[in-house]
């Protein structure tokens, strides 16, 4: 193999070694975001139908002062698995207006959405509100 062909092959391998992990990581994160979006909708719908029995989440508690006011109780008849990043889903069942709100702190694990701002999630938070 000539020096040019060898250099070209090494450059191609180096580019693949740099680009491929970034592409894979981006795809994995996109799948996790999609999973969290599906989960918050499903959890909200199940909670809306079952009432406040589904108020439990597994996983690590997200970090943030904004998490105050979000209900992350460990009691309940049904268990909610952690979000794709291993954190609890935060669930609120409100009477006025009647709604169920489910929030994932997203990839960074930090609640960035204020308790009263669930209609417009902030940062990378993933939120869904199901009106009763």
CB 78 within 8 A of CB 58: no
Tell me the residue range of the domain where 56 lies: 3-131
107: which residues sit within 8 A by CB, 6+ positions away?
Answer: 29, 32, 33, 85, 124
Compare 119 and 85 and report the one with higher pLDDT: 85
Q: pLDDT tens digit string along 69-96?
A: 555 544 444 567 889 999 988 887 777 7
Looking up residue 52, the CATH number of its domain turns out to be 3.30.700
Q: pLDDT tens digit string along 13-34?
A: 888 888 888 888 888 889 999 9
Pairing label, strands 98-104, 90-95? antiparallel
Number of domains making up the chain: 1
């Amino acid at each position: 193999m000539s020096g040019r062909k060898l250099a070209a092959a090494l450059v191609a391998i180096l580019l693949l070694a740099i680009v491929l992990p970034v592409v894979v990581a981006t795809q994995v994160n996109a799948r996790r975001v999609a999973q969290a979006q599906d989960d918050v909708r499903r959890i909200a719908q199940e909670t809306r139908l079952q009432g406040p029995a589904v108020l439990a989440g597994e996983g690590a508690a997200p970090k943030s002062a904004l998490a105050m006011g979000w209900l992350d109780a460990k009691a309940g008849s049904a268990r909610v698995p952690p979000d794709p990043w291993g954190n609890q889903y935060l669930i609120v069942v409100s009477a006025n207006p009647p709604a169920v709100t489910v929030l994932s702190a997203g990839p960074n694990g930090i609640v960035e959405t204020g308790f009263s701002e669930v209609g417009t999630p902030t940062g990378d938070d993933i939120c869904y509100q199901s009106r009763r």
